[in-house]
Amino acid sequence: MMKSLIIIGARGYGREMYHLATQCREYGIEWEIKGFLDDHSTALKGYTGYPPILGPVETYEVLPGDLFVCALGDVNYKHKYVSIIKDKGGVFTSLIHPSSIVFPNTEFAEGIIICQFVNISCDCRFGSFVTIQPFTEIGHDVIIGNYAHLNVNSFVGGFVKIGNFVTVHTGAKVLPRLKVGDNSVIGAGSVVTKNVPEGCTVFGNPAKVIFAE
């Protein structure tokens, strides 16, 4: 039976994920796209060619055959809305664009999003609901925790360990063998040359702590 893919979030990132989904190998074979969940019923106003907004996450009734993907860039909101759907028994799938390159022995948990032209080297491990934006390079033996979000053109060197709920902004680089603690943020264009403590925001080249919880 063909399943129904539902995208959480109908704003800009949700629209991007719709187009990503239409380019995935599973589209039209394993699932069709049913629509979006968003609490703004007019989020798609002025845009054409998209499926409907089915309602907010909070009131949606999960049906047999539904599959979900979460298109929210904020890691904490992503966790919130994923948890709501999972508490209702919803099942999440992964979207991996066919232009991405994933080397052998890489392990993925559920809800992964890997966008166009991502290069992932061998023997990496990804937690649940990790998002990797286009043109990102990930070295060998990298470990990435749950709900991490790596933005466009970021680089992660070999043996790096990235914690849960980490955001790596556009163009940032994390040099090999470093650790980035849970709930940390790497600013755009930053070059991380030493370990990042938990709950810190770092920025610059070399990256320095500009905020700590």
pLDDT in tens, 125-181: 999 999 999 999 999 999 999 999 999 999 999 999 999 999 999 999 999 999 999
Task: Find out whether 152 and 135 touch, Cβ atoms under 8 Å.
Answer: yes
Question: Of 138, 150, 113, which Cα lies nearest the Cα of 128?
Answer: 113
DSSP state letters, 80-93: HHHHHHHHTT--B-
Residue 163 belongs to what H/E stretch? none
pLDDT bucket at 6, cuts 50 / 70 / 90: very high
| CA 205/CA 184 separation, integer angstroms | 17
Q: What is the pLDDT of residue 213?
A: 80
Q: What is the pLDDT of residue 123?
A: 98
Q: Which strands, in side-by-side order, build the sheet including 161-162? A: 107-108, 125-126, 143-144, 161-162, 179-180
Tokens, residue 156: 């992660």
Task: Find out whether 180 and 157 touch, Cβ atoms under 8 Å.
Answer: no
- What pTM, to 2 d.p., does this model score? 0.96
Query: With pLDDT > 90 as the criterion, what percentage of the chain qualifies?
Result: 99
Q: Return mean pLDDT, the chain.
A: 97
Q: How buried is residue 138: exposed, middle or buried, by Cβ count under 10 Å (0-12/13-18/19+)?
A: buried
Mean pLDDT of 29-56: 97
Q: What is the pLDDT of residue 48?
A: 97
Q: What is the pLDDT of residue 84?
A: 98
100-114 tens-digit pLDDT: 999 999 999 999 999
Residue whose entry in the numeric block shows the structure tokens 């929210």: 72
pLDDT bucket at 1, cuts 50 / 70 / 90: confident
Question: Of 109, 139, 146, which Cα lies nearest the Cα of 124?
Answer: 139
Q: How buried is residue 213: exposed, middle or buried, by Cβ count under 10 Å (0-12/13-18/19+)?
A: exposed
Phi-psi sector, 61: left (phi>0), alpha (psi -120 to 50), beta: beta
Residue whose entry in the numeric block shows the structure tokens 């559920």: 110
pLDDT bucket at 64, cuts 50 / 70 / 90: very high
| CA 198/CA 213 separation, integer angstroms | 8
